[in-house]
Each structure stands twice: as C-alpha cells, then as structure tokens.
Amino acid sequence: MRSLLAIIAAKVALKTNRITGSGGTALPGMLAQKLDKDILRKLVLKNFPKGIIVVTGTNGKTTTSRFIANILEEAGISYVHNRAGSNMERGLISTMAENTNLYGRVDADVALFEVDEAFMPKVCRAIEPDTIVVTNLFRDQLDRYGELDKIARSFRNLFEDLPNTKLVLNADDPLVASLGYELENERKATYFGVGDYNGPKITNDHTADSIFDPFTQQKLHYTDRYFGHIGRYRGKRGGFTRPKPDFQANNVRQKGIENIKFDVNKTSKAIKLEMPGLFNVYNAIAAYSVAKICLDTEENNIISALNESSAVFGRSEQLNYLNREVVMLLIKNPTGLNQIIQTYLLKEKDRLLVFVINDNFADGRDISWLWDAAFEDLKGYRGKILVGGTRAYDMALRLKYAGLKGVSIESDENSLLKMIEKNSTRRSKIFILPTYTAMLSMRSKIAANDDKAKEFWQ
Amino acid sequence: MKAIKIAHLYPERMSIYGDFGNVLVLSQRMNWRGIKNEVVSIEVGDKLPKDIDMIFIGGGQDKGQVVVAEDLMAKSSQIKDFAESGGPLLSVCGGYQLLGEYFISSDYGQIQGIGLFNVISKATETRMIGNILVQSEKFGQLVGFENHSGATEFIGRAQPLGVVKKGFGNNPDDKLEGVIYKNAIGTYLHGSFLPKNPKVADWLIRQAIKYSGQNIKLKELNDELENSARKNAARKA
C-alpha cells in the first residue's frame, strides 16, 4: 500500500513536471522516497529478467551508458535507463516510477543505471546489480566526494557484500584495477584496457592520482602513460600489477577531431566512433565488455551500435548558433579537461574558445582543480578566448598564469553570447567549455536558436 | 644572479587541491620580473638539496600522508634548520598538518609530524568545507577554499596567520586560521592559495631572495585581475 502511494505520488509529480516544463528529475523520486523509504529496492530488485547493469566512475559514465543503451537497442533488448544524467538515488527512483505500472511492474528486460560514485554503496545494496562497470577514478569535486581512497574503499566493501555481481573494471587505472585484485572465492573481475595509443598527449599533466600500488604504496612502473594515471604499468613481482585485459582496444587511430578507430583483441572488425578522443575508446571498450559478458547478443550488433553512436548531450555535442558551428564540451575535473585539450585544442589552435565556469553545488563549489589542468599546453593558442560564469575571474587568472593572452571576461551569460557572436563569423567553429550548470543554461539559450537541439531535449 | 631555487615537496603524493598553482604563481611572478628561478620536485626518498631558497608542500590524501610523514622525518633537521634560519616555507592543508607535532588520523592512527609548528591536528567527524575569508595582520584580506576534516590547535606559543571572518580555519571553535613561525606559513587555504593572494606570494619571494643572499628589489606587477578575483571570491565566502 505504501509503495502504491509512493508510485502514484511520483507519477503525479512527473506529470506536473512535464506540464510546467521544469526539467527537475529528482523531485518525483524525493516524494516517493518520503512515502516509502525502500521504494527503490521494491521497484528494481528482481524486476528485470535479463539483469541490472550499473555504470559508475569519475569520467565517462554517461557516454558508456549511452553506448550500452545503443547496443541494447541494436540487439532488440528492452531496457529502462536513467537518461538525463539523474544519477543519484532520487533520480533513479524517478526513472523507475516513470517506467512502472501502479503495481510496480516494469515491461523491460534490462535496467541500465549510471550511478554517482557517492551513492554507489546505498543504491547498489538496495538494487543488487548483476553487473557493475567502473570506468575510472580521478580526483573530482573533492568538496562533494571526499578523497579518492575513501571512494575506492567504499567500492571494495560494496563488492564484498555483493558476491554474485559481475565486475567490469578498467585495467589501465591502477586504483580501479586493484578493486578486482585477489577477490574472495576465486571470483574474477572482467578487465578492459587499451593496448596502444600514439595520438597527441598533454605535456603538463598534473592529474595522476594513483601511480602507486594501492596495497604497498610502492611506485608503479609505467611502460606507457596515456593520460593522468591511465596507461600500461607494472607492479613489483608477486604483488599487484596491471591485469591482462579480457577486452583490449588495439590499433587506436585518431583522425582529426572527427573520429577514432580501434579493434578489440586484434581479432574484431575495426570499430569507428564518430567522436574523437582516447577517453571515448575507453567508454566504448567498457560497453563492449559489458555486452560480451552479460548480454546475449552478437558481435555484429555491438560493433554497429558503437559505430552509429553519436555524442551525448553536452559532452561533445555539435550545435548551430546563428550559423556558427558550436561544439559543447562539458568540463568538470582536470582529467576530463585535459582530455578535451588533448583531443580538440592541440589540433585546432585558432578557434574561438569560451570557458564558462560556475561554482554551484552541481559544478563543485571548489574550483581549485582549474590549477591542475594543463592550460600550459595551450601556449601558442592563436584564437580569441572568452571567459564567463560565476568564477570567470578565477578562470581568467588561471589563463594569465598559463601565459595566455587575449582573454576577455564577461560574467553575464547573455552578454557572453553577444560577445561570442561579435568575435566570430558565419561558419566559424566555436568551442564552448562549460561546467555542468553552465552547460545546461548555455545549451538552452543556444538551443532556442537551433531546431535540431530542441528536439534533443525531448 | 643566482637562480632562486624552490623545493616542491612530494608533488606526486601531496598535490590534490590545485597545489601546483601555488608553485606556478611563485615561479611566474619571478619570471615576469626577470628573476631567474628553478623548481625542483622532491619525492619520497629523494635528497633535499642544500642550496634551496624556498620550500613548498601541499595537501594529500590520508593514505599518502603516512608514507610522506616517514620521509619528512628523515629530512626533519634539514627543514627545521632552514626555517629557523629564516628560509621561507609555505605548507597547505595536509602538508601543514605534517609540519606540526602530530596528526591523529581516523584510519591510520597517530602520524608523527616534524614539530616545526607548535600545533597538533586531529581528525574530526565534521568536514570543514567551503569558501573562507581571513583577515591577516601581515597580509590583509586573504581568500581561499578549505576542505579538511582535521582540526588543528595550538600548543604553547604560536602565531596564527589570521583571524577567520567567514568559514572554519584551523578548527570549528577558535576562529583562528593557519600559523606563521619566522618565515614559515601553514594554512588550510587552497583554491589555489597564492593566485588570489599575491601579497603572500611576493612576501615569500622577497624572503627567498634575502635567504639566497641577494639584494633585488621587487618590481610592482599589475595585479588588477588578481584583486578582482580576490574580491569576487570574498563576496562568495
């Protein structure tokens, strides 16, 4: 009875949201949770005949989930997915309330949830996933998440409490890989990784957090470091070392900022992602691994789904603004930002570049991370740089100390858009790098001028 | 002219809060004035060179701090001699804690510090997070962001860096922030600390020049942007 009320309340709230046009995804979940605190467990557990998949990690959650969703589509498997980035407990409840009938039954075979790292222990103990994917762990919004080691420890305890859950882990991230080291009862994790990468690299990389053996604190030996602490490494003999990936991306070839190609275990057909960046290869190989171990589908379905995937909302999305080509590149931590510099800005040095840095709760209130990102690699950037957001001055200061000239500040977003227009011409390509809340507001302002983007909201 | 040598201690294990920014600011503000300088990274097991003119140590995770504390102990007398003889030093967050008498962490018990500062720190249940505004007699208004669960208190004689106007500082109770002993500073302010507090950066540079035995007058720099950023941050605190 209690859960019936909770579902009704959430459904009413969802309807109201849609009518008023407010995009809030947490409120319906919050209402349902108030009425029945076990609502998430009741709605998810044992409700999906082909399993529950959870994707977590610092960077790449949304894109990896989207890749998996596309594979499910291609394979004709029905699924429920928390799409709009609502990856905390209440967002998951809202997603479920939307997709169940009043008795809490769902008409889908698979649940696919991206879950915020901080909510992992609570959410996963409630829903007992069949598969958990960890993309990577980097310092991120330390004001919200606390220290990395604590997150890793909470994951390790969680995995012990879920002995039947399959673990899909990044072999190239020592901290993530260590989560599958010497599991009890001969349980084995599935590992993904990248075998080689010869594309551009950041030279001023200050984002390595986990270059030490997590058990002994001895330094790991890297034979190749791709970015941050991601790469091929070795530990001391007999101790923790990089596990051999079950699924490894090889022959990684990047073409401009258009696409990136690779194959898996040197045996698969070539996969071509219509988006650039080594980080997307990691997201794709993670999704590939999940599909291989827990979805009953053919390799061809996996590969065509990856080939046809487009960029996810705001993450490297192309929009049209007054006949200018705008590329939106969400930034939230130094590693992600470095990947964007590495992928886009080292190649196209003469574009208009716009940073919009907010310090609202969802952005992380602490902006110190800007000082750890590799703006020094932008030295010699020839384009004009505009800076906006509630922390525009901090951003401008960071660029000053990186030795960049030609930076203009405009905190107000409407004036910033006018400046973008003034500093570009028709058919110009513009890179906008916003933090999360800045992305939402900039995107809605730009989308008002772009019919294609408007559809994306629905 | 002899290059000013800054020792950046443990960048691999102790730089999680934009600590790199502090070193960058020191170095750039010398570059812009034509003062030769050099930053040497000192990791666990490395020797601390004898001819350094400044020491910087940032913040790390509790886990990393255990290893760092042992290594610091081996360098203890050299660091203390440096500070006692007027060498400038800046320590932030975890680094600050390890230069005190000891730090009682929640997971690793008591970690012995080198006792340069008359302070002790203890892990608490409250994480002190947010924008912070401090009034310092020596430097005026200071801004930053703090994020620590360790609470620091003075034992015996110690002089704070400043008085907390908004935020927590050393601990939730006494409204004091940081410590200053001779030319050595400990603080919980990151964000990074020096970019928006250029007076402190220039003061450290002046002390380093003096310590190196040279006589160079610091040219004024245009700090308009630094000051705007500081005022903007102060409004947020």
Q: What is the DSSP string of A167-221?
A: EEEETTSHHHHHTTTT-GGG---EEEEES-B-S---SS-------B-TTT-PBPE
Same domain, yes or no, for A341 and A303?
no
What SS3 class is residue B43? Answer: coil
Contacts of B145 in chain A (CB under 8 A): 143, 365-368
Whether the predicted pLDDT of B94 surpasses 80: yes
Residues sharing a CB contact under 8 Å with residue A34, sequence separation 6 or more, in sequence order: none
What's the first-to-final CA gap in chain A, in angstroms?
32
Q: Do A364 and A281 have their domain in common?
A: no
CATH label of the domain that carries residue A283: 3.40.1190.10
Q: Is B93 a catalytic residue?
A: yes
Indicate if A242 and A183 belong to the same structural domain: yes
Residue A146, in any domain of the structure: yes
Residue of A nearest to B17 (CA): A368
Say whether both A168 and A235 belong to one domain.
yes
d(CA A87, CA A57): 12
Picking from A328, A339, A362, A373, the residue whose alpha carbon sits closest to that of residue A436 is: A362
Catalytic residue among B93, B179, B208, B234: B93
Q: Mention every residue, 6+ apart, whose C-beta is less than 8 A from residue A217.
A: B63, B64, B66, B67
Which two tokens mark B220?
A: 């004024």
Residue-range domains of chain B with CATH: 4-236 (3.40.50.880)
For residues A257 and A351, state if they share a domain: no
- Residue A329 in any domain: the answer is yes
Closest-CA residue in chain A for B28? A401
Judge if A361 and A406 occupy the same domain: yes
What is residue A23's predicted lDDT score, i.e. its pLDDT?
53
Structural tokens at position A183: 């599991």
- Whether residues A366 and B66 touch (CB distance < 8 A) is answered with no
State whether A344 and A374 are in the same domain: yes
pLDDT tens by residue, chain A, 458 residues: 678 888 888 888 887 776 655 556 678 888 888 889 999 999 999 899 999 999 999 999 999 999 999 999 999 999 999 976 688 898 999 999 889 888 888 999 999 999 999 999 999 999 999 999 999 999 887 766 667 888 999 999 999 999 999 999 999 999 999 999 989 888 999 999 999 998 888 888 888 888 999 999 899 999 999 999 999 999 998 899 999 999 999 999 988 888 899 999 988 899 999 888 999 999 999 999 999 999 989 999 999 999 998 777 667 788 889 989 999 999 989 999 999 999 888 888 788 999 999 999 889 899 999 999 999 999 888 889 999 999 999 999 999 999 998 899 998 999 999 999 999 998 888 999 999 999 999 999 998 876 555 444 43
Question: Is the residue at A395 inside a domain?
Answer: yes
What's the rounded Cα separation, in Å, for the pair A26 and A90? Answer: 5
| Cross-chain CB nearest to A371 (options B13, B66, B192) | B192
A405 interaction partners in chain B (CB closer than 8 Å): none
- Residue A455, amino acid: E
CA distance B199 to A403: 20
Residue B237: count of CB within 10 angstroms of its CB = 16
Interchain contact, A359 vs B25, CB within 8 Å: no
**For residue A43, is it within any domain?**
no
Contact A210, A233 (CB under 8 A): no
B198–chain A nearest CA distance, Å: 12
Check whether residue A57 and residue A183 sit in a common domain: yes
- Quote the mean pLDDT of chain A: 90
Question: Which pLDDT belongs to residue B60?
Answer: 84
Residue A35 lies in a domain: no
What angle in degrees, to the nearest 10, is found between the helix axes of A148-161 and A120-127? 10
CATH code of the domain containing A381:
3.90.190.20
For chain B, the straight-line distance linking the first and the last C-alpha, in angstroms and rounded, comes to: 42
Chain B: give the shortest CA distance to residue A369, in Å: 5
Tell me the per-residue pLDDT of B171-205, one tens digit each, with 9 for 90 and over.
999 999 999 999 999 999 997 999 999 999 999 99
Q: How far is CA A188 from its chain centroid?
A: 25
Count: domains in chain A: 2
CB A80 within 8 A of CB A108: yes
B-chain CB neighbours of A379 within 8 Å are none
Residue A454, min C-alpha distance to chain B (Å): 34
For CA atoms B22, B25, B28, B33, give the dihedral sign. Answer: negative
pLDDT at A456: 46
Residues A150 and A221 in one domain: yes
pLDDT at A230: 96
Spatial contact of A207 and A227, defined as CB atoms under 8 Å apart: yes
CA-to-CA distance for A311 and A63, rounded, in angstroms? 8
Say how far apart CA B159 and CA B187 lie, in whole Å.
Answer: 12
Amino acid at A121: P
Q: Of A308, A338, A355, at which residue does a domain stop?
A: A308
B53 alpha-carbon distance from chain centroid: 15
More confident residue, A204 or B214: B214
What chain B residue is nearest to A393 in terms of C-alpha separation? B229
Domain contains A18? no
Query: Which helix (H) or strand (E) element contains residue A317?
Result: strand A317-321
- Are B82 and B55 in contact by the 8 Å Cβ rule? The answer is yes
Q: How far is CA B1 from the centre of its chain?
A: 26
Q: How far is B45 from chain A (nearest CA, A)?
A: 11
Among the partner-chain residues A211, A390, A401, the one whose CB lies closest to the CB of B24 is: A401
**What pLDDT does A209 receive?**
83
- Which domain-ending residue is among A275, A308, A341? A308
Which one, of A399, A368, A374, lies nearest residue A386 by Cα? A399
Residue A85 has what pLDDT?
Answer: 63
- Which structural domain, as residue segments, surrounds residue A298? 51-79+109-308
**What is the spatial distance between Cα A149 and Cα B61, in angstroms, rounded to a whole number?**
7
pLDDT given at position A451 = 58
Judge if A350 and A274 occupy the same domain.
Answer: no
Does residue A72 share a domain with residue A190? yes
Distance CA A281, CA A387 (A): 30
Q: Is B80 helix (H, G, I), strand (E, B) or coil?
A: helix
Q: How high is the ipTM of this complex?
A: 0.96
In single-letter form, the type of residue at position A18 comes to R
In a domain, residue A3? The reply is no
What CA–CA distances, in Å, run from A207 to A63, A137, A360, B90?
A: 21, 11, 23, 22
Question: pTM for this one?
Answer: 0.89
HSE at residue A449, side-chain half, CA atoms within 13 A, is 14
The yes-or-no verdict on residue B17 having pLDDT over 90 is no
Give, in degrees to the nearest 5, the angle at Cα B190 between B185 and B195: 90
User: With an 8 Å Cβ cutoff, are B229 and A396 in contact?
Assistant: yes
Length of chain A: 458
* Whole-number Å distance between alpha carbons of A434 and A336: 12
Maximum distance among all Cα pairs of chain B, rounded to whole angstroms: 50
Contact B18 A371 (CB under 8 A): yes
Q: Which residue among B12, B63, B226 sits closest to A397, beta carbon to beta carbon?
A: B226
> For residues A133 and A137, what is the distance between their CA atoms, to the nearest angstrom?
12
Q: Are A229 and A209 in contact, with CB atoms under 8 Å apart?
A: yes
B164 catalytic, yes or no?
no
The pLDDT tens digits for A102-154 are: 888 899 999 999 999 999 999 999 999 999 999 999 988 776 666 788 899 99
The reply to whether residue B61 touches residue A400, judged by beta carbons under 8 angstroms, is no
Contact B147, B19 (CB under 8 A): no
CB B150 within 8 A of CB B124: yes
Residue A131: helix, strand or coil by DSSP? strand
Of B20, B62, B229, the CB nearest to A206: B20
The answer on A356 and A287 residing in a single domain is no
Q: Which long-range contacts (CB under 8 A, 24 or more apart) does B222-225 make?
A: B223/B198, B225/A393, B225/A396, B225/A397, B225/A400
Domain boundary residue among A267, A282, A308? A308
Q: DSSP string spanning A4-60?
A: HHHHHHHHHHHHHHHHHT----HHHHHHHHHH-TTHHHHHHTT--TT-EEEEESSS-
Residue A269 belongs to a domain: yes
Token reading at A178: 């260590």
Residues of chain B in Cβ contact (below 8 Å) with chain A: 11-13, 15-21, 24-25, 28, 61-64, 66-67, 127, 129-131, 145, 147, 190-192, 195-196, 225-226, 228-229, 232-233, 236
A247 has which bridge partners? A192
Question: Looking at this protein, which amino acid is placed at residue A91?
Answer: G
